[in-house]
Amino acid sequence: MKDEDWDTVLDTNLKGAFNTVKAFQRSMMKAADPRIINISSVIGLIGNAGQVNYAASKAGLIGFTKSVARELAGRKVTCNAIAPGFISTDMTDELNEAQKEAIVGNIPLKEMGAVSDIAALTLFLASAEARYITGQVIASDGGMTM
């Protein structure tokens, strides 16, 4: 892997989250029901051959999420991460049938998730009903990481 490939992925996935929280932390501490929701990945939980930069960035985002949750909890800011599994998107549409079958074979629910699954979880974590959930990583992965 080239250094540039490592840096690009870490800058996007990890430094991007850092810069966003840094830019908004003061206003969030004054807001009603403030929420930070990071999008990690099951790859940050289990790793994946050929994706060491991606796995490291998403695992780092999990540690970042837990640390921010602790730092901002006194101001009632919650910070959680969602770890999607394989979700049907334009990107997974590029996979051939054999690749899709191999992926689905590793998912206990035997299907890829939908974008709406991640959206619904995000909406819940952003709601007042999630006020007592912080520092958590919630996998929406059809059972891959159980």
Which pLDDT value is given to residue 35?
Answer: 98
Per 3-state DSSP, the chain is made up of helix, strand and coil in percentages (nearest 5) of 60, 10, 30
In DSSP terms, 140 is beta-bridged to: 84
Contacts of 132 (CB under 8 A, 6+ apart): none
- Domain range summary for the chain, segments of one domain joined by +: 3-140
Which pLDDT value is given to residue 78?
Answer: 98
Q: How confident is the model at residue 123 (pLDDT cuts 50, 70, 90)?
A: very high
Q: pLDDT of 53-78, one tens digit each?
A: 999 999 999 999 999 999 999 999 99
Q: Which CATH architecture has domain 3-140?
A: 3-Layer(aba) Sandwich (3.40)
Contacts of 53 (CB under 8 A, 6+ apart): 1, 5, 6, 9, 10
Active site residues: 54
Question: Across residues 93-100, what is the average pLDDT?
Answer: 94
Q: pLDDT of 97-118, one tens digit each?
A: 999 999 999 999 999 999 999 9
**Residues of the chain above pLDDT 70, percent:** 100
Question: Across residues 39-59, what is the average pLDDT?
Answer: 96
Which pLDDT value is given to residue 130?
Answer: 98
Which residue's structure tokens are 């490291």?
56
